[in-house]
């Protein structure tokens, strides 16, 4: 299966970070996290799932445990199971990240 230009699948919303599904199986989930300037995905964990962000557009403030970094296109963030992680868009541009999870979340939420 080929999915074209995944950035074009982004779903931004004004009230909170937007999410879009790209593809998933019983083994993984691939989606998009879409941040308007100022939006944040607050610190959280996933039990039994590893998450990988790949930044596609914009710049972000990433936190994994005690590690904080400014990230941009082509940068990868790895949050293993139970590792607290957060991502924020300080602006002024939109921030778009591809999100891989293995195994996939039960509720298809990232």
Which residues lie near its own copies (CB under 8 A)?
Answer: 1-8, 22-23, 25, 27-28, 30, 49-50, 52, 54, 56, 62, 64, 67, 69, 71, 74-78, 80-81, 98, 100, 102-103
Q: Which is nearer to its own copies, 16 or 27 (CB)?
A: 27
β-partners of residue 86 are 63
* Closest distance of CB 17 from its own copies, Å: 19
For CA atoms 37, 5, 76, 79, the dihedral sign is positive
Euclidean distance between CA atoms 49 and 65, whole angstroms: 16
Q: Which is nearer to its own copies, 17 or 62 (CB)?
A: 62
First to last CA, the chain: 22
């Amino acid at each position: 299966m080929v999915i074209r230009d995944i950035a074009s699948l982004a779903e931004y919303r004004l009230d909170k970070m937007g999410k879009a599904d790209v593809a998933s199986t019983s083994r993984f989930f691939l989606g998009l996290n879409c941040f308007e300037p100022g939006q944040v995905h607050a610190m959280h964990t996933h039990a039994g799932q590893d998450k990988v962000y790949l930044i596609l557009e914009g710049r972000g403030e990433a936190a994994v445990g005690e590690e904080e970094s400014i990230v941009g296109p082509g940068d990868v963030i790895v949050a293993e199971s139970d590792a607290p992680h957060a991502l924020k868009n300080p602006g002024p541009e939109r921030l778009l990240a591809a999100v891989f999870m293995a195994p996939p979340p039960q509720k298809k939420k990232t």
